[in-house]
Amino acid sequence: MKITNSAVRLSTGVDGLDYILLGGLVQGGAYLVRGGPGTGKTTLGLHYLAAGIAAGQKVLFVTLGEPVEDIKKNARSINVNADDLAYLDLSPTPEFFAEVETYDIFSPAEVEREPTTARIIDAVHDVQPDRVFIDSMAQFRYLSVDIFQYRKQVLSFLRYLKGRGATVVFTSEAGPDTPDSDVQFLSDGIVNLFLNHHERNVSVSKFRGSSFVAGEHGMRLSAHGMEVLPRLEPQERTEQLQMEALPLGVVKLDQMLHGGLERGTITIISGPSGVGKTTLGLQFMKTGAARGERSIVYTFEEEVDIVIQRSEMIGIPARRMVDEGTLSLTKVRPLQFTPDEFAHLVRRDVEDRGARVVMIDSVSGYKLSLHGAGLVRRLHALCKFLQSTGVTVVLLAETQSIVGDFQATDVELSYLADNIVFLRYLEIEGELRKAVGVLKKRLSDFEKVLREFEITSNGIQVGEPMTEFRGILSGVPTSVGAAPSESAA
């Protein structure tokens, strides 16, 4: 019978894996979970059987390696109740070492296979399980005289279980010394678990008769068991881009932007260290708070208390915004998350808190603090996902040069931005000053001038267009005859 996406699904007990499998395992199939030691195979099996208990089903745990008491102990460590599971313990007993027998005529496989098979049949007859977990199938290899007999025995065993209405999950130790290509061929689906350089991932490489979410997805093991974090991919926009311009609350800066930043766009604010990027981003969130909208900031560099203190000193009531729930500040520690874990955190925060603006401070901090491959591509996917749901995204990008040749950003994400606002230092008559300009705006026109930018105790001050200078983008402008204008609000 051909399995379709509309077939009955059984939860694996891990929400993120169910998402990847488009609802869970197809009832009546046999599925291989493969991975090296410590990748979480038994943990997944415990979740799978516990989900069956919760659904009122009969379950059976067949263990050929680990004693039942150790399994129960490990289950308790991840808050999984394994006491109600039915077990078939085929693991070696302590007496096996002392009472080991030798066989003169028959091989051990030929002698031991028959009683093992009888014990399995008896357990299945007694329990009549809806779900079976076998850990691990590789042990059956040693009960077979050759590879042909092994494949025949495994196929017959799986058909026996499936013929009695069970959905089977079994494990194998994937490695060069323990090839499992034969059981991969016999399975209806394959879930692969990886542990590479302290980064855990899961992928599905086979799911007979059904589609699934391809690629490697984040995974972590904790005191709560296994959690799978489906990778975010760029999505089609579910909300129409709105022409509503959200003001920054600085009159002349909003004038430069022809009203502000459009809702649902991606904005890069770039500039060297200390020029005011974070302050400008928080100013945007201050106006959002006045509209009653929630914003979230993920800071990779500064501590939350320092961000709040600096904001308060220049007239941005960050502490009050936090207390009122219109602003959330989250400090991301170095190597605390993989990119998938961070994306999962952002998605959960946005969905749970209803945030309309998300700021990442900064892109370079993101790249330094998160461990894993493809960081830029993951950030691209995260931003596009947020944009597709109507969230306005602000990315702070640090440039290395203080003065000198102009460079909008040092990151590879300029193509992603709907808007680019840049800040830079200027040296004028031996004094270090700042300027702000707009380089790009997709949804509207903007002023093609630079204005002086200053952060004071009264907030951000933006001056008149700096038309009396030339060579501003070099960082060392020269006068064309008029004295520098005074900054004005």
Query: For residue range 355-364, what is the model confidence (pLDDT) as tens digits?
Result: 999 999 999 8
Q: Based on the fold, state whether residues 40 and 167 are members of the same structural domain.
A: yes
Whole-number pLDDT of residue 478: 74
Q: Based on the fold, state whether residues 107 and 25 are members of the same structural domain.
A: yes
Is 93 contained in some domain? yes
Q: Which of 269-273, 329-333, 456-460, 478-482 is least confident? A: 478-482
Q: Which of 157-161, 181-185, 482-486 is least confident? A: 482-486
Q: Based on the fold, state whether residues 261 and 225 are members of the same structural domain.
A: no
Whole-number pLDDT of residue 487: 42
- For 407-420, write each residue's pLDDT tens digit: 666 667 888 999 99
Is 3 contained in some domain? no
Q: Based on the fold, state whether residues 269 and 334 are members of the same structural domain.
A: yes
Q: Based on the fold, state whether residues 176 and 294 are members of the same structural domain.
A: no
**Domain hosting residue 364, numbered range:** 245-479
Q: Based on the fold, state whether residues 206 and 282 are members of the same structural domain.
A: no
Q: Based on the fold, state whether residues 273 and 391 are members of the same structural domain.
A: yes
Give the percent of the chain with pLDDT over 70. 84
Q: Based on the fold, state whether residues 287 and 316 are members of the same structural domain.
A: yes
Is 486 contained in some domain? no
Is 2 contained in some domain? no
Q: Which CATH number does the domain housing residue 123 bear?
A: 3.40.50.300
**Domains: count for the chain:** 2
Q: Based on the fold, state whether residues 18 and 68 are members of the same structural domain.
A: yes
Q: Over the chain, what is the mean pLDDT?
A: 86
Is 440 contained in some domain? yes
Q: Based on the fold, state whether residues 222 and 322 are members of the same structural domain.
A: no
Last residue of a domain, one of 229, 261, 287: 229
Q: Based on the fold, state whether residues 356 and 212 are members of the same structural domain.
A: no
- For 124-146, write each residue's pLDDT tens digit: 999 999 999 999 887 777 666 66
- For 356-399, write each residue's pLDDT tens digit: 999 999 998 998 888 766 788 889 999 999 999 999 999 999 88
Is 485 contained in some domain? no
Last residue of a domain, one of 196, 229, 262: 229
Whole-number pLDDT of residue 400: 74
Residue 39 has pLDDT above 70, yes or no: yes
Residue 439 has pLDDT above 50, yes or no: yes
Last residue of a domain, one of 205, 229, 253: 229
Is 237 contained in some domain? no
Q: Based on the fold, state whether residues 267 and 129 are members of the same structural domain.
A: no
Residue 426 has pLDDT above 80, yes or no: yes
Is 225 contained in some domain? yes
374: region left, alpha or beta (phi > 0 left; psi from -120 to 50 alpha): left
